[in-house]
Amino acid sequence: MRVTEDRAAALVLATCPGVEPATIRTLARQLGGPAAAWRADASAWRSVCGIREQTVKRLDQWRHRTDPARVEAALAQRGIRVWVQGDDAYPRALLDLAEPPVAVFVAGQAETLHAQPMVAVVGTRRASPYGGEAAAWIAEAMAKAGVAVVSGMAVGIDAAAHLACLDAGGVSVAVLATGVDRCYPSSHEHLYRRLLARGAVISEYAPGTPVARHRFPERNRLIAALGQLTVVVQAGVKSGALRTADHALELGRDVFAVPGPVTTVNFQGCHRLIQDGAQLLADPHDLLLALGLDVTYEKRDDARVPARWRPLYDALDADLTAGQLAVMLGMEPARVYTGLLELEMAGWVRRLPGGVYRRVTG
């Protein structure tokens, strides 16, 4: 009976409009569980938990006019599941947190949260072409090895990882800092729909919760918990991705960091992680080994690069223009352009903005 009562109380508390999950966790922790918190007098909410008067009024009004069964039925009609602590479906990985969510809301293919290993891939919103390529390389390799990718659906590294995983036929999960019924940023509507179809979106915030800055650090701990390990692809010294890495370390999870140019500000966070003991990621296969998976993924065999263009391909160990390559190799510019065009059409090199070329690896 207590489990049922706790579940109903957790569900209603978690869906109270305008009340933060941190407040619900405080009530449950201080008063002996969701059911005890739900039954408590408003005076206990104030004195024991230090809840603000405005929040006390919201909670008191909500509990007097809310039927838990109707709340859950209404969510189900919208394709949203709610899992509370004690449910079989509640992600066990979240219980490793010092303060796991009292309840989580899930939209999309909810079963994917239990179906396979999961790696967190995070990084800056100001992703460089190299950072985006690295995120895609990692996510594609995970998808091909049957490992799901979890991230935060943000612009930059997050989006690159989600998209590459989905494009490779894999499963991806987004942890949102809003309700699962809201797409943020709005420009990612197409990605959001693809995640619902091929993965899931999950949040500890009730449906309808809008975006707010303070909610992003909160959701980062869920990303770290869901991932069996965390990869920071590109991050500056103040990036939120570093906080995700901190959460992962607190949970005893492995953290990997992708190195970048030492002159690039948006990689200084990654370099600092490596200095502090994070593992340098040289190849996605390192992640599979860390997961205990003896799985290989399809790599490109650069031995198949046409022999006549091999010197051109090998010279691209850094991003260079056609003119720089011509000088370096002592080749006629017209021949360099011919070779680059052929290599680009075959997928061996990529032309970047500004006339710069990059070798495609992996």
> DSSP secondary structure string, 143-186?
HHTT-EEEE---TTHHHHHHHHHHHTT--EEEE-SS-TTS-SSG
Residue 327 corresponds to which amino acid? Answer: V
The pLDDT value recorded for residue 341 is 82
Question: Where do the H-state alpha helices sit in 199-258?
Answer: 215-226, 240-250
At residue 259's C-alpha, the angle toward residues 254 and 263, to 5°, is 145
The pLDDT value recorded for residue 353 is 84
Q: Would you give the distance in Å from CA 141 to the centre of its chain?
A: 16
What dihedral angle (degrees, nearest 10) is formed by the CA atoms of 36, 41, 47, 53? 120
What is the C-alpha separation between 93 and 327, in angstroms, rounded? 55
What is the C-alpha separation between 131 and 164, in angstroms, rounded? 13
Chunked in runs of 10, what are the mean pLDDT values of the chain (362 residues)? Answer: 74 92 93 91 86 90 88 94 95 96 97 92 92 90 95 97 96 98 96 97 97 94 98 93 96 94 87 95 89 69 77 89 91 88 80 86 64
Q: Which residue has the tokens 């009004």?
A: 61
- How many Cβ atoms from other residues are within 10 Å of residue 335's Cβ? 14
Predicted TM-score of the model (pTM): 0.82
Cβ contact 207:179 at 8 Å: yes
The pLDDT value recorded for residue 164 is 95
The pLDDT value recorded for residue 2 is 45
What is the C-alpha separation between 181 and 210, in angstroms, rounded? 10
The pLDDT value recorded for residue 49 is 80
